[in-house]
Every structure is written in structure tokens, then in C-alpha cells.
Structure 1
Amino acid sequence: MKSQAWVQDRLLVDIRGLSIGFANANGGAPLVQGVDLTIRPGECVALVGESGSGKSLTARSLLGLAGRGALIGAQRFEIAGRDALAFTERDWRGLRGPFAGLVMQDALVSLDPLRTVGAEIAEVLAHHRVLRSRADRRARVHDVMTDVGIPEPAMRARQYAHELSGGLRQRALIASAIAAGPALVIADEPTTALDVTVQAQVLAVLAERLAQGVGVLLISHDLAVVAGIADRVLVMHGGHVVDSGATRDVLHHPSHDYTRQLLAAQPSLESRGHRLSSARIASTARGSMPAIVRDPLPARAASSDRVVLDVEGIGKTYRRRGGARDERFTALDDVSFRVREGEVLGIIGESGSGKSTCGNIVLGLLAPDRGAVRFMGSEWNGAGLAESSRRALRARMQYIPQDPLSSFDPRHAVRELLAEGLHSRRLSRADVLDRSVELLEQVGLGAAYLDRRPVSLSGGQRQRVAIARALAPEPALIVCDEPVSALDVYVQAQVLDLLVSVQARHSTALLFISHDLDVVGHLCDRVLVFKSGRVVEEGDVDTVFAHPRHAYTRLLKASAPTFRHRHEDRLDETSALAREPML
């Protein structure tokens, strides 16, 4: 189903001088001000910038979802050729689905947990009477699921969101957004926290919509993703558009200091040993790539030969939900590796490759079906081992999650969160307070944050508190599961600088799980490549990334977006990857 032909000869979105504010926010001043935005059929326009810059608020205003009490003004605010400033709520409801589809960042939150994926996708078809018969709607659901790369659509349509991997959930969300054949797709961070192969496939789905004449508004903090698909870019900072133009011009020849800062803060293999947040772009000749200058990080002590973590032949299987009663899914199969004192070991691989299952077994949160884990020379996890056997060493292994907000107790202030981490130290109340302040200062916060609750902190601040809490008991190993994947570029740079600095200061070993090859290249000493529950390649980061031996590692490298690729080549690569069989 293609987008409606009646919009193909006009602008889908035509906005001049957009301002958005709320009476009781920002002292009454607009949060978004003076934004000009046009989107044509078959064109991808990207909004980039840090958290709080106004990207999502601008995008949501195109659907009448800016929020209750939003004060919207503009010299011109036309959606589908109509004056949207005069829209009633009924007009907006009629627009959502048939004209514009919305793809959010977190599919697990966006999809209804009480309905199957098939019912979720079919809702827009039934609500707007796009297809009247149940059989036609079911056929359309299966077709659109196939279009977005979901294998076995008939079976997957009967599953619930929590039964799908992150990549499949995101594709199901895209399917629900495009089921009615909208002329405009608004994608708000659609690839955040997805592995590179799934990310490439999601981008390919959007690229195919563009080829069919659908307009796309892409909101992203990932400049490499933007470089791969966007025709034009608007860079937002503090509610204003500070840089705009063709993608190649903005990313290769930024005119504003803020854009230069975003470009320079990107991690990579070349940035290893340097402070990302210090990066700046030196002046270059027209036509050449930006030259990035960075300050060095403090030297790290060489990792010792002392083995902190020894994982030997672990395996884990589950019964496959939605399949036959005796059908089993192998999450891990004979995985072995070691982590030495002071070493940073990265784990990369696609969604469903076993990365997080491995991390949960290492943490002792999940028991392996076979194999064993030794930590600090003691039996840690395996057949017959209970939590009581880990209690003496539990504080020496800590965890930094992807989303601290969902991991922290919302009733606790920062002082309680840190005190909990210090419990094993058996300190006096005064010493706990002193140590908590010291930890906050180490992560660039301070005593003023002790009485703040997690919900009142920004994403970067929450992640700093998570790092401080992990450091509190002076662990020998920290398991980091996608700790920077949801952060914007510059906050990510600050958190990575902090993580490297404190790791060097304490010689703490890190097991760093990530889908971002650039982050792993910047941070890690060695890397394990997971595929289908097995380690298919391992070695020094420099060697594995420069000369990958396994075909799957080469696929990961080819799939990883980078603004250093030529724009046209990137679209060709993405489309080719979309034709690869689902892994």
C-alpha cells in the first residue's frame, strides 16, 4: 500500500517561524522558537541535537501531540496543505494513521502489552476503515510485517511485544505506523539501542518508504545514522535551529560551533586514549573531511595477568514461545572467555545473539544449563550454586544498566542509592556521607545531588549516579550493559570519558556489552563477537576491527553507520543488507 497520491504534488509539511511553549515552563519563554521546516514527498529531513534541544517537541507538534497546554504559534503551519493551527482534536485524529505515522524510540513502551502484535498493527486499519473485512486486515498485517523484515509473520502476529526481541519489536512498531499507507512517517530515535545489523534493516525499511514517495522526518542524536539516509539536516540547540542544509554540507562543512562539537565528539577506534568531550574541529580546506583534535586521557596501567572472571563452556536454552511445545531456543552455546584485572573486554553482536544472557549469567542473575563461571578465583555460577555461595563476593561485582531510571528505586534519593552500594563496607553514617560526596565528585556531580531523586535528573546525570553507585564498593569487575546507547552524542562523550578515567584510576575490569562498534573501538582492549549464542571471533580490538576473519564480523563492520561513508554508498549498502536473510 503506497502513500496517498493526492499529496504527491505538494508539500507534506510547510512551517515558518514555529514556536512552542507552555505557560508554566521555562519562565513562560518558548521551548522551541523560530523553526522553519518543510518536508516533500520522497524526502527525508533529519532533526539532530542533544536531549532537550526541542527535536521531539517539534516533531510531535506535526501530529497535534505537543502536549496538554502547549502554546503553538507560527507564521505558517500547514500539514497536508491545510492550516493546522485551526485543527480540532477530531481533525488531528483523522490525520494520525492515514496521513502520518509515528515510530517511537521504545517499542516495548509504545506497543500495548495486552494485545498481540497483529492486533496492534490492525488497529489503524479498523479504526480508519481502511479495510473492512477481518480477513483483508489479517492479510494486510502479514504483508506489512513481511515488508519490514519480520520473519514468520503469521506466527509473530500472534505474539505479544514482550515475546519479541528488541529489533523485532521496533519493526513491529514501524509496521503499525505504515500499515495504513501514510504519506508521512515521523521516526523519533527509531534505531536507538538497536544493534548495527538490525539498525541497518530498520533504516532500509525507511529507505524503501522514501523510494515509494513517503516523506520521512527522522529525529536522531546519531549523526552516522542521519548521514546514511537523510537528504537535509536541521541541527537544533536550545530550541533553535542553529545549522541546516543538505546532509553532506552540514556534516562535512558545519557552519555552527555546536554542530562542530557534535561531530568531534563521535567515538571511534581513532579516538582511543583521548578525551572525547575535549574534541574540536580544526579548520580544513574546502572539500576535505573535518580534522579533529582531542586532548589525551590519563595513561592507563597495563592489565595484569590476574584473572578476575573465568567463564568456561556456558550454555543456556529456553522453550521457544509461540512455537511447538518441545521446540527449544539456544541462547548460549559453549561460550568461554576470561577477563583480567584492569582489562576492558567488549561484547558485540546483534539482538538475540546472547550478549545480555551472557551478562546475566556473569552477574549471577541467571543460572547456566551447563558450564561454570569463576569470579576472583571462587565458584560463582553453575549447576547447584545458590546465591548464598556468592554473598561474600557479591559487592566485588557491580552493574551499570542501560536505563538507570528503571533500575533505581524511584522512592530513593541519590544518597540512599549510594548508601545501598556502600552497605558492604560497614561504614559509619558520617563516613557513608563523606564517601557518597566523594563518589559524586568523582563522576562530576557533587553534594548538591544527594537529595535529588532519579526522576529529576537528566539521562546523563542518572548514568553518572549509576557509575558512582557501581564504584561505591570498590569492585573488581563492572558489567556494563549498553550504558551509553540512549544518550545523545555529547553526553555520551562525557560519560565515556568519565568511565575511562575512573576505570584507569581504580584498575577495575569492565565487561562492556554494546551494539555500537565505535564505542567499543574507543573503549575496549579486546572484543568478543557473538552470533546465535556462540563466540565466532575474538581478539584485540585493533586486529578484529581492522582485519575481521569471520563473515559475520565483516557484516557488522559493513552495517555500522558512519558519516565518513559517501551518502549514496550508504543507502546502497543499507538496501543490500535489508535483503539479507534475518539472522
Structure 2
Amino acid sequence: MTAALVVQCLTVSLHRRPLVDGLNFALAPGEKVALLGASGSGKSLTAAALLGALPAGMEVSGQLQLDGTDVPLAPRRPRSAGRGSGRPSSGGSGSGGLAAIHQDPTTALNPLVPLGKQLEIPLRREGHSASEARERAAGLLASVGIGDPARVLASYSGELSGGELQRVCIALALACHPKVLVADEPTTALDMVSQAKVLDVLARPSTAGHATLLITHDLAVAQALCTRALVLSSGRIVEQGPMDTLLSEPSHPYTARLVEAARTVHPAGMELTA
């Protein structure tokens, strides 16, 4: 089976100083993997490098494959359906590539354009008529747990709650038909109820065909969604393995400290079960 994502020797540097240093990992189709680490470990830089959205001045090297196809790793401004990020494996709408789900959903949405119009953009790029795109956009909203798609399609981002906006962003990512979803701290800015709803959406069959790389510092969130984890410290993977094993028998001191910290403070009321 061809891997959905293969990353080899990924390095991100600033003024020749490596901030992410030689990462190697792969995701199988449909697999959900957590990239864990404390603030400053290099998690978000890794996500930005994969999405082609590194800040100006940073250098990136390594190899990236999406569904068996080599994709250049180069810092650039990516195409997107709204304000979000994505890296297509070929031209067009980004079908078959990477799509991002960001920590702050407002950064991925244009506050001056109705949400329905923003959802229709990648669908129209595929060649769907306006009515077909509208119908498919409503279906995508329903698939991510929006009970009244018509209201949301006509709404602006400022009229929705944070949890609703994040689910709209997931629908927007799915509209691009990605092979891989890169979710960078997608629940951090949400309350406990909204966080649970977003995690439920990411675990739904509607996203089952997409591999997911969950970038998070929250081990409870990672455990709720992922079966495998990579632990990042100072830009390097120091441990990886099944999620439950990392929680119950961490082999690296850094992982052990993360687990201990997670057991001391349970974010959003969620608890580790290992």
C-alpha cells in the first residue's frame, strides 16, 4: 500500500541554525498520527514546512511524497480555498494534496465573504456548477456535524461560535479532497464542549479516508483521536510508537515529563486513560 505521506530528512533552518532537524516519518492512508511536543519543540514549524507556509527568511530541505508523488519542499505562499493553507500534489484545486486546519479558525476564513461562497470556491474549481457547488457545500457541512447547513452557508464568520467555525474549516479542507489533513492545535482555542465536537468530527467516517497529522501539546486530545504518536523535542523526534504505549511506558525522559505533566493538569476536563 502506498503511503499517504512520506517525509524524509525534513530540516528547517534560520540563518543556518536548524530549528527542525532531519525528521523522518510516514502516514498510511487513513492513519491518524499525533506530533507531540511542548511549545518551541518545532511542531508548528514542521506543519508550516509541509504546507509550504514557512515565514520569510527560513530555509527548508528534505523530501516530501504525497500518495507516491514527489512534491517540492520550498517556502512559498500556498494556494488555498479561503485564507487557509494547502499544498497540492499537482495543479488545480489541490486535490490529492495537503490541507490545513489551523488553531484559530478565523485566520482561515474571510470575514467579509459569506461562508457558503468560501466553501464553493474549491468546488467550483473542480468544474461544478454554482448549484452543484452549493449542494455539495451543504453536504460537507452536514458531514461535519452542522445541523442547519442553510443558515451557516448564508452566515459570515463573525456570526458563528468558535466550535462552529472550526467545523466549517474542516469542511473547507475536505472540499479540497486532500490525501492528508494537517491539524495544527485545532482544539486549543475552544471550550470543552466545542473541543469534544471538533474531535468527534475529526474521528468521523467523513474524514476516515484522509490521513491526519495532529499537531498538539495536549496528550489527552492526541489520545482521543490518534493511534500513533511522534514526540518532538528541540526539532528532533526523540520517541515514536503506539499512543497507548507512549502513555503507559514512555522510554525517553522528555516523553515521560510530558506524560507526567498531562496527568497533573487535565486540559479541558479530559484525562489520560493509560
1:518 aligns to what SS in structure 2? helix
Aligned pairs for 1:294-333 within 5 A: 305-319=1-15, 329-333=17-21
CA–CA separation in structure 1 for the residues paired with 2:191 and 2:60 = 38
Q: Which amino acid aligns with 1:406?
A: T
Match of 2:95 among 388, 395, 419: 395
Q: Aligned pair in 2 of structure 1 residues 519, 384: CA closer, same or farther (>3 Å)? A: closer
CA–CA separation in structure 2 for the residues paired with 1:461 and 1:384 = 31
Q: Aligned pair in 2 of structure 1 residues 353, 395: CA closer, same or farther (>3 Å)? A: same
Q: Deviations over 1:135-154 (max 9, x none)?
A: xxxxxxxxxxxxxxxxxxxx
Q: Are residues 1:498 and 2:201 paired? A: yes
Structure 2, unpaired ranges of 5+: 80-87, 267-274
**1:362 corresponds to:** 50
Q: Which amino acid aligns with 1:348?
A: L
Paired-residue identity, %: 35
Q: Deviations over 1:268-294 (max 9, x none)?
A: xxxxxxxxxxxxxxxxxxxxxxxxxxx
Q: Aligned pair in 2 of structure 1 residues 314, 484: CA closer, same or farther (>3 Å)? A: same
Q: Aligned pair in 2 of structure 1 residues 368, 422: CA closer, same or farther (>3 Å)? A: farther
The offset of 1:449, in angstroms, is 1.2
CA–CA separation in structure 2 for the residues paired with 1:502 and 1:458 = 24
Q: Which amino acid aligns with 2:131?
A: A
Query: In 2, are the aligned partners of 1:312 and 1:373 still within 8 Å (CA)?
Result: yes
**1:541 corresponds to:** 243
Q: Aligned pair in 2 of structure 1 residues 542, 375: CA closer, same or farther (>3 Å)? A: same
Q: Aligned pair in 2 of structure 1 residues 533, 563: CA closer, same or farther (>3 Å)? A: closer
CA–CA separation in structure 1 for the residues paired with 2:225 and 2:74 = 33
Q: Are residues 1:418 and 2:106 paired? A: no
Query: In 2, are the aligned partners of 1:332 and 1:354 still within 8 Å (CA)?
Result: yes
2:195 aligns to what SS in structure 1? helix
**1:463 corresponds to:** 166
Structure 1, unpaired ranges of 5+: 1-304, 320-327, 565-583
Match of 1:475 among 171, 178, 197: 178
The offset of 1:380, in angstroms, is 1.2
- Give TM-score, length-normalised by structure 1: 0.41
Q: Are residues 1:440 and 2:141 paired? A: yes
Q: Are residues 1:409 and 2:100 paired? A: no
CA–CA separation in structure 1 for the residues paired with 2:219 and 2:206 = 20
**1:268 corresponds to:** none
Match of 1:519 among 221, 225, 229: 221
- Give TM-score, length-normalised by structure 2: 0.84
The offset of 1:499, in angstroms, is 1.3
1:560 aligns to what SS in structure 2? helix
**1:379 corresponds to:** 70
Q: Are residues 1:528 and 2:230 paired? A: yes
Query: In 2, are the aligned partners of 1:310 and 1:337 still within 8 Å (CA)?
Result: yes
The offset of 1:562, in angstroms, is 4.4
Query: In 1, are the aligned partners of 2:187 and 2:195 still within 8 Å (CA)?
Result: yes
Aligned pairs for 1:76-475 within 5 A: 305-319=1-15, 329-366=17-54, 369-382=60-73, 390-392=89-91, 394-396=94-96, 397-445=98-146, 446-475=149-178
Q: Aligned pair in 2 of structure 1 residues 450, 503: CA closer, same or farther (>3 Å)? A: closer
Higher Cα radius of gyration? 1
Q: Deviations over 1:171-208 (max 9, x none)?
A: xxxxxxxxxxxxxxxxxxxxxxxxxxxxxxxxxxxxxx
CA–CA separation in structure 1 for the residues paired with 2:205 and 2:178 = 12
The offset of 1:329, in angstroms, is 3.7
The offset of 1:362, in angstroms, is 1.2
